[in-house]
Structure 1
Amino acid sequence: MTTRCGTNDEAVHAPNLLVDDDPEALADGLLAFLSDRARRAGVGAVNRARMVAEHDLSTQCARMGEAFAQVEAQQ
């Protein structure tokens, strides 16, 4: 869960909750998660799967290699 400010919406994807940049909205969102164990578990599972798929060591190494290759090709 995060607020809709800055670029948070680019980094935080559904089924995570995006709330207005407002203390009451943030509190309501937190209470919704705290009161729903199944929702917390479901969102956590989706987030973990995304992180493992997109940010594991081999994926990050490959992306860095691609980025360095692009820089090298431009020189």
Structure 2
Amino acid sequence: MTTVPQHDYALDYVHRWEDWCAMTGMSRTTGWREVKAGRGPVITKLTARRIGVRHRHHLAWLAAREPQEAAAA
């Protein structure tokens, strides 16, 4: 009997752009600047006019920022 690997659906949750920016304490404009500069998370396109950030990409973005934040402190 083979086992099916479990999927963590919580990591696939998509935060709307406005919610993600509020969660990180950034304005929508600053968040967009970070993405355009290559320092932001991976963006998920929801519709032609709406974007968001998957929770797994938010966690990866936070992990990548930790060394920078520790050096700044």
By percentage of residues, which structure has more helix? 1
By percentage of residues, which structure has more strand? 2
Q: How does the TM-score come out when normalised to structure 1?
A: 0.35
Larger Rg: 1
Q: How does the TM-score come out when normalised to structure 2?
A: 0.36
